[in-house]
Amino acid sequence: MAASSVVLILGSGPRVGASVAKKFASNGYKVAVASRSGSGTKTAEGYLSLKADFTKPESISALFDAVKTEFKASPSVIVYNAAALTSPPDENSCFSIPAETVVLDLNVNTVSPYVAAQEAVRGWETLPKETKKTFIYTGNAMNVTLVPMPMVMDLGMGKAASAFWVGLADATYSGRGSRFFYADERHVDGNLKGMELDGAAHGEFFAQLANHEGNIPWLATFVKDKGYVEFK
């Protein structure tokens, strides 16, 4: 890792986001975190804290500009960890969610990370050729597993759509030294982890992905204390 390596974590909650930030900081990265509660200043840990609204994809480019201004370099690693879910007013009907709400949630789950990937690629062009460039999307198993619960309608839609473009991006850019990953923590038996996600496990695995270690495919399913595990 170059001394100027920067990681930008979009969606920095107290579990996954905080653990990923801590791990990358311990590896010598300069860290920027963006969330709804961002302050625009440095945190106690020395991270650049940015205020973000992921329902507005047009606001994403300003976050990258702020990182480059602060650290004098574009982020080589981008982690998209934001997510949105709206429970349907009628718990028995996934179609009771208003269309305008679905659009806002899709902005968070699919469109904003897509724009972040666009900005990432632009920034990578300014970095040294030997720098490892990585985009990591925090996913779940809903791109391959149907969860028969109306409350996960728009979350599942967003994850499935994003898995496609992440996979396509990796197929397109991996030959150029840039990797895109859809990172999906699972239980040992391969089942959906749901709300039992382990923050520290994400930090360890994401650091491995950023180093392009282990020939891990874009669909990066992993298990705590085991790392990448392929599930059929």
Determine whether 193 is an active site residue. no
| Distance from C-alpha of 136 to C-alpha of 139, rounded to nearest angstrom | 9
Helix (H) or strand (E) holding 187: none
Joined together, the tokens standing for residue 205 give 């695995």
- The Cα–Cα gap between 231 and 222 comes to 9
Query: Residue 38 has what pLDDT?
Result: 86
Q: If pLDDT is split at 50, 70 and 90, which confidence band does 40 have?
A: confident
pLDDT of 181 > 60? The answer is yes
Task: List the one residue out of 165, 179, 175 whose CA is nearest residue 115.
Answer: 165
Candidates 30, 132, 159, 224; catalytic one: 159
| Alpha carbon distance 32, 101 (integer Å) | 29
User: How would residue 3 be classed by pLDDT, with cut points 50, 70 and 90?
Assistant: low
Residue with the two structure tokens 């992993």: 222
Mean pLDDT to the nearest integer, 201-223: 97
- Would you call 4 exposed, middle or buried from its count of C-beta atoms within 10 A (0-12, 13-18, 19+)? middle
Q: How confident is the model at residue 4 (pLDDT cuts 50, 70, 90)?
A: low
In the block, tokens 């625009």 appear at 40
**CATH code, residues 6-228:** 3.40.50.720
What pLDDT score does 195 carry?
87
Match 């945190």 to its residue by tokens. Answer: 43
Lowest-pLDDT range of 35-49, 120-134, 165-179, 214-228? 35-49
Q: Could you read off the pLDDT of 129-157 as tens digits, one per residue?
A: 999 999 999 999 999 999 999 999 999 99
pLDDT digits (tens, 9 = 90+) for 11-24: 988 889 999 999 99
- pLDDT, residue 1, reads 52
Q: Tell me the whole-structure pTM to 2 decimals.
A: 0.96
3-state secondary structure of 86: coil
pLDDT value of position 2 = 53
Kindly report which listed range (38-42, 62-66, 70-74, 133-137) carries the lowest average pLDDT score: 38-42
Q: What is the pLDDT of residue 29?
A: 97
The distance in angstroms from the start CA to the end CA of the chain is 33
Looking at the predicted structure, is the pLDDT value of residue 166 above 90?
A: yes
pLDDT at 18: 94
Which of 27, 7, 18, 56 shows the shortest CA–CA distance to 200?
Answer: 18
CA-CA distance, 158 to 2, in Å (whole number)? Answer: 34
Whether 125 shows a pLDDT value over 70: the answer reads: yes
Residue 6 has pLDDT above 60, yes or no: yes
pLDDT at 32 over 90: yes
